[in-house]
Chain A
Amino acid sequence: DVKVTQSSRYLVKRTGEKVFLECVQDMDHENMFWYRQDPGLGLRLIYFSYDVKMKEKGDIPEGYSVSREKKERFSLILESASTNQTSMYLCASSLSTGIRNQPQHFGDGTRLSIL
Chain B
Amino acid sequence: AQKITQTQPGMFVQEKEAVTLDCTYDTSDPSYGLFWYKQPSSGEMIFLIYQGSYDQQNATEGRYSLNFQKARKSANLVISASQLGDSAMYFCAMREGENTGFQKLVFGTGTRLLVSP
Which positions in A face B, CB cutoff 8 Å? 9, 31, 33, 35, 40-45, 48, 50, 58, 88, 90, 92, 94, 96-98, 100-101, 103-109, 111
Contacts and interface: CB of A to CB of B under 8 A. Distances in A.
Contact of B109 (A9, A41, A88): A41
23 contacts: A31-B103, A33-B105, A35-B107, A42-B4, A42-B6, A42-B109, A45-B104, A48-B103, A48-B104, A58-B104, A97-B100, A97-B101, A98-B101, A100-B33, A100-B98, A101-B33, A104-B47, A104-B105, A105-B47, A106-B45, A108-B42, A108-B43, A109-B44
A40 B109 contact: yes
Interface of B: 4, 6, 9, 33, 35, 37, 42-45, 47, 50, 52, 91, 93, 98, 100-101, 103-110
A85 to B, nearest CB: 18
Contacts of B104: 45, 48, 58
Contacts of B100: 97
Nearest to B110: A42
Given A43-B91, A50-B103, A98-B101, A103 B50 contact: yes
A4 to B, nearest CB: 9
A57 B2 CA distance: 19
Given A42-B91, A43-B107, A92 B52 contact: no
Contact of B43 (A48, A58, A88): A88
Contacts of B42: 108
A83 B93 CA distance: 28
B103 A101 contact: no
B43 A109 contact: yes
